[in-house]
């Protein structure tokens, strides 16, 4: 079962690039979660983990660029949230490829919990400025 399902009601920001990227992000996360919790090859899980993290980094950079371009007041606090998740992801990625950590159910739930808070609070907040 998919870990995350995008709906406009729950995750819509009124900013088209963000909504499109969030749906792609959910798809990459669901693929990783399905592989990791269904015993896929470790190399396959690693490739999906790398693809997800690369996309997340690009997505955050895109949001930050647009917020800065509009002089959005919430930029600093929003970027701090992004930086914290990227640091957590980079740590997991390093440990995974060193054979010291795995992508587990808990990892999936951690990312879901983060997104369930971040998109409705932080991302929806830039809607009026960027939409």
Which residues here bind Fe ion, judged by CB under 5 A? Answer: 63, 123
- Please say whether the beta carbons of 11 and 22 come within 8 A: yes
Query: Which lies closer to Fe ion via its Cβ, residue 18 or residue 45?
Result: 18
Least distance (Å) from Fe ion to the CB of residue 119?
6
Question: In Å, how far are 59, 99, 100, 111 from 63, measured between CA atoms?
Answer: 6, 32, 32, 18
Least distance (Å) from Fe ion to the CB of residue 86?
11
Query: Which lies closer to Fe ion via its Cβ, residue 53 or residue 63?
Result: 63
Give residues with Cβ within 8 angstroms of 89, minimum separation 6: 53, 56
Least distance (Å) from Fe ion to the CB of residue 115?
8
Query: Which lies closer to Fe ion via its Cβ, residue 42 or residue 79?
Result: 79
Chain CA centroid to CA 93, Å: 14
- Residue nearest Fe ion, Cβ-based: 123
């Amino acid at each position: 079962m998919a870990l995350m399902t995008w709906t406009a009601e729950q995750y819509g920001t009124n900013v088209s690039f963000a909504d499109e990227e969030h749906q792609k992000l959910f798809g990459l996360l669901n693929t990783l979660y399905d592989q990791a919790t269904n015993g896929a090859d470790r190399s396959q899980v690693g490739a999906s983990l790398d693809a997800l993290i690369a996309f997340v980094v690009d997505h955050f950079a895109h949001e930050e660029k647009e917020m800065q371009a509009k002089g959005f007041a919430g930029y600093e606090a929003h970027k701090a949230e992004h930086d914290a998740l990227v640091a957590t992801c980079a740590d997991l990625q390093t440990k995974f490829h060193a054979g010291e950590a795995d992508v587990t159910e808990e990892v999936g739930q951690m990312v879901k919990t983060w997104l369930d808070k971040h998109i409705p609070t932080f991302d929806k907040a830039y809607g009026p400025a960027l939409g």
